[in-house]
Structure 1
Amino acid sequence: MTDDRARERAHEDDRVALALDLLAALEHDDLPLSAVVDRIETVTTDPTLVRTILDEAELRGIIERDEGRVRMQRGGFVRFERHVVTREGDFDCLRCGASLSTGHFLQLDTGELGPFGSSCVRKVLGRD
């Protein structure tokens, strides 16, 4: 494997791990598949990688898929005070693309995900 391909594979592995962490932290018990894909797309929009993430999440027991619905099998909980940090700057929301002067970043075990706007971070986590 070439160095470039090895780096690309490591980056894909990091995105899978981050997306799995995000799915494990969702506060919903049950979501439509499209809503779960919406959350995964904050990590990657590569359709092959999205499928890999869904398959891996099911294999690891994080989710269960059934007829277009996804049930969360392990509920996590993100404490805003501890797991969501804000930074001032010039950002674009990963979810909706809006320009932000304050970015909200999720601190997950496998890394940081963001920036999000204040309403999008709540939506991603299932608070709204």
Structure 2
Amino acid sequence: MDGDPVEVGLELLAALEHEELSVAEAVDRIETVTTHPSVTREILETAETRGIIEREDGVVRPQRGTHVSFESQVVQKEGDFECRRCGAGLSTGHFIRFDSGDLGPFGSSCIRKVTGRD
């Protein structure tokens, strides 16, 4: 990943295709950006302050309604990668292009899970 982890995390939360998810599920997505607890907390708090999410009773509801465009924002690169979500070895990595930086690599099923397509 390149870019500021807080800004990348905010863009990821804004692009989730879920109507709602548990805080644990939101943290699972954020952990593709950072596993540092204070940065994770900062991402959640900033997302709530900026109106990107609403958080209540252990449930997170994305508010933006923008989603990752697989046609224009997801790029594939060939190489020797390890998935940021599951740790599997990859010969093709999927990367999400956000304004604040690229996030990845992910495998073909994990990219869908991270964005909320599955």
- TM-score under structure 1 length normalisation: 0.88
**CA-to-partner distance for each residue in 1:9-68, whole Å, 9 max, x for gaps?**
xx9x81100100111111111001111000100010000110011000000000011111
Structure 2 unaligned segments of length 5 or more: list them: none
Kindly report the root-mean-square deviation, in angstroms, between the aligned alpha carbons of the 2 structures.
1.2
Higher relative contact order (CA 8 A, sep 6+): 2
Partner of 2:96: 106
Partner of 2:107: 117
Q: How many residues align?
A: 117
Please report how far the alpha carbon of residue 75 of structure 1 lies from its aligned counterpart in structure 2 after TM superposition: 1.4
Partner of 1:48: 38
Q: Which is richer in helix?
A: 1
Cα distance in structure 2, aligned partners of 1:39 and 1:59: 19
Cα distance in structure 1, aligned partners of 2:89 and 2:16: 25
Pairing of 1:1-128 with structure 2 (within 5 A): 14-128=4-118
Cα distance in structure 2, aligned partners of 1:60 and 1:103: 31
Runs of 4+ in 1 over 4 A off after TM superposition: none
Structure 1 unaligned segments of length 5 or more: list them: 1-10
Cα distance in structure 1, aligned partners of 2:60 and 2:41: 14
Name the % identity: 63
